[in-house]
Amino acid sequence: MRHRVAGRQLSRDTEHRKALRRNMAASLFESETISTTIEKAKEIKPFAEKLITLAKAGTLAARRRAIAILGNRYIVKEEDGKFVKKGTVIGKLFSDIGPRYLERAGGYSRIIKLSKRRLGDNGQLVLLQLIGKEEASKKSSRAASKKKAAKEAAHSKSRHEASPKHAEAHEGKAEAAVEKDAEKK
């Protein structure tokens, strides 16, 4: 019986499971979106969100706890055929990701199911991504579309009001139609 046994084993022993969780959380913080299986994503999501909550505190003690839990690997990028260090995962977590979610009470990441499956074992693939940058772009695009719609409405209204000849022509046609109907009767 497995009464009150929490967590998934993921067909790994304890140390391998911890290493997997640390590496995938670090990759999530580094690139802000990763593709993995649904089981791994469901296991990593609460772990990553607890680290983000820790980063929101921003204290030295919180930083040391995050380093103890996650490790502090470098973020390395390739530029002109050479690998260049761009900082650390903990540095990005505490300087970029933590402050982004100060106003948010929780739910810093999302799982999006993909239609394709993994080739070897037909496992369900998902995207695990941090929420934030997409919402800012959606808000700005909504504001831009509202401004555009208001501008078009004002433009069309001013165009109809500005041409009295246009209005007179419509009135003349309407009067002619009424007269025609009266003659028929």
CA atoms within 13 A on the CB side of 53: 9
CATH number of 14-131: 3.90.1030.10
Element (H, E) at 17: helix 14-31
What is the tens place of the pLDDT at every residue in 140-162?
A: 556 666 666 666 666 665 555 55
- Coil/strand/helix, residue 13: coil
pLDDT digits (tens, 9 = 90+) for 75-134: 999 999 999 999 999 999 999 999 999 999 999 999 999 999 999 999 999 999 999 866
- CA atoms of 125 and 37, how far apart (whole Å): 5
Reported pTM: 0.70
What does the H/E/C string look like for 118-172? CCCCCCEEEEEEECCHHHHHHHHHHHHHHHHHHHHHHHHHHHHHHCHHHHHHHHH
C-alpha distances (whole Å) from 65 to each of 18, 52, 88, 154 are: 16, 12, 15, 57
d(CA 19, CA 27) in angstroms, rounded, equals 12
**Relative orientation angle of helices 60-70 and 14-31, to the nearest 10 degrees:** 120
